[in-house]
Structure 1
Amino acid sequence: MRVGSFVFRYEVSLAIESHAHYSNKLKLKRPNLSVDFAVRYAQSPPKLRTATPRRSINSDRRPVCSFAARRRFVRGREEDFSKSGTRKRLRFVFICVVTPAQEECLQRLQNRMEVAYDTSIPQHQEALKGLWKLSFPEEELHAIVSEQWKEMGWQGKDPSTDFRGGGFISLENLLYFAKRFPKSFQDLLRKQVGDRSVWEYPFAVAGINITFMLIQMLGLETVKPPSIVGETFLRFLSVNESAFDILYCIAFKLMDHQWLSMRASYMEFNTVMKSTRRQLEREIMVEDITYIEDMPSYSLLLSQ
């Protein structure tokens, strides 16, 4: 069944006591639209069944659901109908079908991801120096390799060794954050907000980890995003080429917000990152969001 820009294949495992109980549950409803499922079942012990969609008897077209309806369905894909002692579990594989415009935007973003940080490239060194100036405008950087970098949360005196995990795009993300949201950037860099732990997370290294986390979450290393979260992000990217950089800023600010809420310390950094990822996925799936700036956590960047 083609649903919006996705193609779904369903496998339905049913433990049913009566077909009548489920005859009205396996439906997607929309005005002037009826999508029924023909379900094979038996009176024998439950086995894996297949369910195939068929056209409505009132329509000669393939059933097409709205994007919002699709997101509602995906969120409820493993909903447990435990009434009357019955259980249902839906498992499906979906294939993302992107538009030419979205494919171009994704390709440009992937091109950025493929660029490794190279100390032999003058532009890369200048970008790194620019990050220092934006971070500590009152302090001069003595050399490109310096103990001063540790003040920003790099692991050593040469930040290039840390960029191996995130590539040049992780430096671009930090630069974008510093330029677009300087107040939030400085708050996180200098740990100026909230009751802080004795063992805080290192700012710069956390930034690289966030870049890597977003790439994994959105499935950006594949030809087409393997999840509806990634497909939704492509819609944001097609209307704003800076969507990934903005999402990075949201994620960084949200991570710090979660850090403070959980009263976390350095050893709990991975736990905070997992919590941040789950929250981002939920917000991306919120209905009626057209732009990346519509995400609820975007407001954290604007708070003073």
Structure 2
Amino acid sequence: MVWIQYAHNSLPNSATGLSPFHCSLGYQPPLFSDQEEESPFPLSTCLCAAVVGPGRRPCSAPLPGSFFPPCRFKLSLQICLLQVTGYKKLFVDVENLRKQPFDSSKKQHEDMLIKLWELLMPHIPLESRITKQWGDIGFQGEDPKTDFRGMGMLGLHNLMFFGEHYPETARQALSQSNHPKMGYSYAIVGINLTEMAYSMLKTGILKTHLYNVVSGAPQMHHFHEFYCYLMYEFNQFWFKEKPASIMEFNYYREQFHKRVKELLLDHNSVLILKAERQ
């Protein structure tokens, strides 16, 4: 498949006289690795473009103008393929978690929910499993399981990861979300941001970030880390914009979404939460 795509991207267009490689990369990469000595542009770069699409630099291949010794070609290609196949597998794993509903009969699900409370409210005991206290961390009703219907267990895993690995940052965001005028429902917004992260993964917008973060197959924890970035940055964005009320959430959510997508268009983008991790 790689070679078929390479051949397709090498064919000149009848109207412009230029191949897709010339249009997107500005040059025609060599076909064989032993020809790299004659060209400053390595085959590995073109293969990355062929696998993922012209005009993008998703993998660890060098920018045009750099040089890979022939001995590194195989390693570079392996990394590119690992990133591409790993991204597809990550989406399958994320999708399976999203499709898994919260089940009160499963001890693991119940334990995670209680653990979330303990992470966010370490000094206040939960009176009972069904209680209005859940509203204190941003759930809508007395039983949080109903709020996970849209994103399934993926929403709970995201909230748990943020609270477990960035406890101070998560508690600070929760505290700020209880602002008397500009407050928002922490857990509900968190699940909403799970949907945002999921949609970016599904559409492929997240490829550049993940390929820049790991020179191999991206894993579930890389997706969780991106979610933590969204949680922190949205909280900062919300209070900077100073919305009149929670009724303006959809508008500001869309503005935040556009801002993140613009950042992801940068081929060098790495969106990581810069906070102490535990």
200, 203, 209: which one pairs with 2:192? 209
Partner of 2:108, secondary structure, is: helix
Please tell me whether residue 278 in structure 1 is matched to residue 258 in structure 2.
yes
Residue 152 of structure 1 aligns with an amino acid whose one-letter code is I
Please tell me whether residue 126 in structure 1 is matched to residue 91 in structure 2.
no
Residue 65 of structure 1 deviates from its aligned partner by 8.0
Match of 1:248 in 2: 227
C-alpha distance after superposition, 1:113-158 (max 9, x if no partner): 2211111111111111111111111111111101111111111111
Please tell me whether residue 143 in structure 1 is matched to residue 128 in structure 2.
yes
Structure 1, unaligned runs of 5 or more: 9-18, 20-25, 36-57, 73-96, 220-225
Structure with greater proportional helix content:
2
Partner of 1:64, secondary structure, is: helix
Residue 209 of structure 1 deviates from its aligned partner by 0.7
Residue 240 of structure 2 aligns with an amino acid whose one-letter code is S
Match of 1:107 in 2: 92
Given that residues 251 and 276 in structure 1 are in contact (C-alpha distance below 8 angstroms), is that contact kept between their aligned partners in structure 2? no
Residue 207 of structure 1 aligns with an amino acid whose one-letter code is G
Match of 2:155 in 1: 170
Q: 1:65 to 1:100 in 2, by over 3 A?
A: closer
Given that residues 177 and 186 in structure 2 are in contact (C-alpha distance below 8 angstroms), is that contact kept between their aligned partners in structure 1? no
d(CA) in 1 for partners of 2:252 and 2:84? 35
Residue 277 of structure 1 deviates from its aligned partner by 1.5
- Alignment length (residue pairs): 229
Q: 1:66 to 1:100 in 2, by over 3 A?
A: closer
Residue 267 of structure 1 aligns with an amino acid whose one-letter code is M
Structure 2, unaligned runs of 5 or more: 10-15, 17-21, 30-38, 58-81
Residue 191 of structure 1 aligns with an amino acid whose one-letter code is Q
d(CA) in 2 for partners of 1:116 and 1:29? 45
Given that residues 90 and 219 in structure 2 are in contact (C-alpha distance below 8 angstroms), is that contact kept between their aligned partners in structure 1? no
Given that residues 258 and 275 in structure 1 are in contact (C-alpha distance below 8 angstroms), is that contact kept between their aligned partners in structure 2? no
Match of 1:298 in 2: 273
What's the TM-score, normalizing by structure 1?
Answer: 0.62
Residue 197 of structure 1 deviates from its aligned partner by 5.8
Residue 222 of structure 2 aligns with an amino acid whose one-letter code is A
Residue 190 of structure 1 aligns with an amino acid whose one-letter code is S
d(CA) in 2 for partners of 1:140 and 1:269? 30
The correspondence of residues 1-304 of structure 1 with structure 2, limited to 5 A, is 27-30=23-26, 33-34=27-28, 64=46, 70-71=55-56, 99-191=84-176, 196=179, 198-219=181-202, 226-227=203-204, 229-232=205-208, 235=211, 236=213, 238-264=217-243, 265-289=245-269, 294-295=270-271, 298-299=273-274, 301=275
d(CA) in 1 for partners of 2:144 and 2:188? 9
Match of 2:66 in 1: none
Residue 231 of structure 1 aligns with an amino acid whose one-letter code is K
RMSD: 4.1
d(CA) in 2 for partners of 1:27 and 1:123? 52
Given that residues 182 and 246 in structure 2 are in contact (C-alpha distance below 8 angstroms), is that contact kept between their aligned partners in structure 1? yes
Q: 1:115 to 1:217 in 2, by over 3 A?
A: same
Match of 1:76 in 2: none
Give me the identity figure in percent: 24
Residue 233 of structure 1 deviates from its aligned partner by 5.2
Given that residues 218 and 233 in structure 1 are in contact (C-alpha distance below 8 angstroms), is that contact kept between their aligned partners in structure 2? no
Residue 267 of structure 1 deviates from its aligned partner by 1.3
Structure with greater proportional strand content:
1
Residue 265 of structure 2 aligns with an amino acid whose one-letter code is M
Q: 1:117 to 1:250 in 2, by over 3 A?
A: same
d(CA) in 2 for partners of 1:66 and 1:124? 40
